[in-house]
Amino acid sequence: MKRNVYLAMKSLEDAKNIFSGLWQEKKTLPEQIPAENALGRVTAEPVYAGISAPTYHSAAMDGIAVKAEATYGATDQTPKILKTGEDAVWINTGHALPEGYNAVIMVEKIHERDESHIEIMSPAYPWQNIRKVGEDIIATQLLFPHNHIIRPYDLGALVAAGVFSVSVYKKPKVMIIPTGTEIISHRDVADFGQLKKNQIIDSNSITLSGLVREAHAEPHVLDITPDDESAIRNVLLQASSSDADLILMIAGSSAGSRDYTSAILSDIGDVLVHGVAMMPGKPTILGAVNGKPVIGIPGYPVSAILAFEQFAKPLLLSLQGMPAPKTHTIAVRASRAIPSKLGSEEFVRVNIGRVVNLTVATPLPRSAGSITTLTRAEGIIRIPSFSEGINQDEEIQAELLVDEEELKNTIVVIGSHDITIDILADEIRNATGRNIRISSGNVGSLGGLMAIKKGICHFAGSHLLDTQTGEYNISYIKRYLKGIGISLFHLVRRDQGLIIKKNNPKGIRGITDLTRDDISYVNRQAGSGTRILLDYNLARSGIKAGSVKGYDDEEFTHMSVAVDVLSGAADCGMAIYAAAKALDLDFIPMDTEQYDLVIPTDLLKDENIQAVLSTIRSQKFRDRVTALGGYDPSRSGELAAEITPG
């Protein structure tokens, strides 16, 4: 089995031009649908009015219908008396104008003298307060041109004009073909319980189906096709012979020996592009079979989404005569340097928030397999292929994934990772009823203090131990944040220790076991409070860092350490008890430490910061944190110290 090689990888722009150029004139066939079902559809031909609206002369006001010439000469000094039933007829808004009458006087402008006589003090002019036949719509007039997207108020215009059905472009039909021997449908998981080893739930089909519907098209997901060349060939031939307008082949597009899509496409159709210079999404394949466009979608979720957004979505909209949606960009400052590889355009998912006068973007993990980097992101930064990245504090444009107004309610938290920040992110919405977002960047406690110094976060989470005094955070704040007033608030006390596998198969008893040849360790990043705590305990035990196998292998969160232990990537790592409990791992307690919120005093009046403090003082928040295990939130929200500029 040979491996594929990206022999002619194209730039993103070139790939889009090659692919769209073949289909830019193509449209789906027209279909006639009831007008009331046409919302959001695109007219396939001009739409003309069948009748006029209104179809009769009608009163535009409540009042009396009159003959205008009979009212001439009426003034305040010389009012005219009209006899009802002869000179004037009572009429309500929308009612047909009686034959022979040509004006309406508003009820507010008349004086009823008795049951048979009305006094007016000003004349009416012809057609005053009357809606004439065809005032709004005239039969045969053009209502909408072709390629018009029908809006809610257009529906009313259609039926008012006697157009009860309309010709629109059919919604494109998209055939989605998931492939992979290791892939399993979520329905089968629900039926048969736990996943077996090496099985992966097919989430891409669900995501792509949603994206297809969002592009006003209809998804049709086929059964999962295993990694078998003959099976993939057959299903692709069947799909290309169907009435599908676009075929999406999920996975099988990269350079692996079992990635058949490119070879099969070359054999039964045409490969236009194999490999696009973008990250994520490099393995994307663009081709055609039987005159139908085919996109080989990479298997990693973020790659799959970006491949769809760049190639499938524009095509689906174009097939219906819809314009590509405009993106909203905003100038942001990078909270830290974002390196990038020359030669590929990179899509970096970021959290975005406003801190005083700065709009700050914090990069999220860049893994192509991490779909949560999109669910958590407020924006995407595109780094051009000719750039080696973005410098710290550099201003760059970011494409917004949320409404810009939401950024005002985004609280930027940079510093040490703690699970209670996730509880805060959820609970603050319940407690306040407001759409407040917590954007967190996990860079370690020292990294959080540096972020405060640069003014790029609202507060930092910190648990820095002063090994000389046993005190947390204060000495570090005084050392690194000189000249900045700081209010230090307690969040939790938490248990730190060694996370080990269930039932402790290697018999680890404490920190001295880290020097054993058969023990692999996973560390937290330099500058994190957990790393400082480990180094302190190693020094107390007379252990050199170099004797710990895996000391230089770093993770940025407690949960990542726990996952490494669970997966077997490491035998143990230092993290909080709650992370061990969450993944049903064993835990050797070592220390109970203080985790605090470091808040610039100048920001205390900010209503979002007040919402944070109010939330962490609530009993509901404390109860939820306690339930995690290994936490003591009894002093959550208490002011621990005020540190004045010095």
Residue 598 forms part of a structural domain: yes
523-538 pLDDT, tens digit per residue, is 998 888 899 999 999 9
Instruction: Please give the pLDDT value at position 374.
Output: 87
**Residues 186 and 240 occupy one common structural domain:** yes
What CA–CA distance (Å, rounded) separates 275 from 285?
6
104-155 pLDDT, tens digit per residue, is 999 988 888 888 899 998 999 999 999 998 888 999 999 999 999 999 999 9
Is residue 257 over pLDDT 50? no
What single DSSP character describes residue 84? B
**Residues 499 and 587 occupy one common structural domain:** yes
Q: State percent of the chain over pLDDT 90.
A: 68
State the CATH number of the domain containing residue 82: 2.170.190.11
578-614 pLDDT, tens digit per residue, is 999 999 999 999 999 999 999 999 999 999 999 999 9
Residue 283 forms part of a structural domain: yes
**Residues 211 and 122 occupy one common structural domain:** no
What single DSSP character describes residue 132? -
Residue 343 binned pLDDT confidence (cut-offs 50, 70, 90):
confident
Residue 200 forms part of a structural domain: yes
State the CATH number of the domain containing residue 268: 3.40.980.10
Q: How many domains in the chain? A: 4
**Residues 287 and 304 occupy one common structural domain:** yes
4-34 pLDDT, tens digit per residue, is 555 568 999 999 999 998 888 899 999 999 9
Extract the tokens encoding 246: 């676009």
**Residues 193 and 215 occupy one common structural domain:** yes
Is residue 502 over pLDDT 90? yes
Residue 327 forms part of a structural domain: no
What CA–CA distance (Å, rounded) separates 406 from 416?
25
Extract the tokens encoding 143: 């209502």
Apex 451 CA angle, 449 and 455, nearest 5? 115
What CA–CA distance (Å, rounded) separates 143 from 50?
10
Residue 403 forms part of a structural domain: no
Residue with tokens 């089968």: 188
State the CATH number of the domain containing residue 46: 3.90.105.10
Residue 435 forms part of a structural domain: no
Q: Domain boundary residue among 131, 156, 185?
A: 131
**Residues 270 and 126 occupy one common structural domain:** no
In whole angstroms, how far apart are CA 113 and each of 67, 75, 79, 80, 263? 19, 16, 12, 11, 94
φ/ψ of residue 645, rounded to 5: -60, 135
State the CATH number of the domain containing residue 460: 3.40.190.10
**Residues 113 and 156 occupy one common structural domain:** no
Residue 362 forms part of a structural domain: no
**Residues 469 and 610 occupy one common structural domain:** yes
Whether this model's pTM surpasses 0.95: no
Q: Domain boundary residue among 292, 319, 346?
A: 319
Instruction: Please give the pLDDT value at position 252.
Output: 67
For the chain, the residue count is 646
Mean pLDDT value across the chain: 91
In whole angstroms, how far apart are CA 282 and each of 301, 303, 352? 13, 8, 26
**Mean per-residue pLDDT, 37-60:** 93
**Residues 634 and 537 occupy one common structural domain:** yes
Is residue 256 over pLDDT 80? no
C-alpha closest to that of 292 among 263, 320, 272, 317: 272
**Mean per-residue pLDDT, 619-635:** 95
What single DSSP character describes residue 37? G
Extract the tokens encoding 210: 């949603």
**Residues 505 and 563 occupy one common structural domain:** yes
CB-CB contact of 476 with 589 (8 Å):
no
Give the number of other CB atoms < 10 A from CB of residue 201.
Answer: 14
**Mean per-residue pLDDT, 166-193:** 87
Residue 358 forms part of a structural domain: no
In whole angstroms, how far apart are CA 429 and each of 52, 143, 435, 608? 52, 46, 6, 11
**Residues 152 and 263 occupy one common structural domain:** no
Give the DSSP H or E segment for 207.
helix 204-214
Instruction: Please give the pLDDT value at position 3.
Output: 47
Cite the DSSP H helix spans in 500-567: 529-540, 558-567
Could you tell me whether strands 395-400 and 460-462 are parallel, antiparallel, or unpaired per DSSP bridges?
A: unpaired
Spatial neighbors of 192 by CB under 8 A, at least 6 apart, are none
What CA–CA distance (Å, rounded) separates 387 from 343?
8
Domain with 160, as residue range(s), is 30-54+135-169
In whole angstroms, how far apart are CA 536 and each of 467, 554, 574? 7, 17, 13
504-561 pLDDT, tens digit per residue, is 999 999 999 999 999 999 999 888 889 999 999 999 999 999 999 999 999 988 999 9
**Residues 454 and 583 occupy one common structural domain:** yes
Instruction: Please give the pLDDT value at position 1.
Output: 40
Instruction: Please give the pLDDT value at position 2.
Output: 46
Residue 444 binned pLDDT confidence (cut-offs 50, 70, 90):
confident
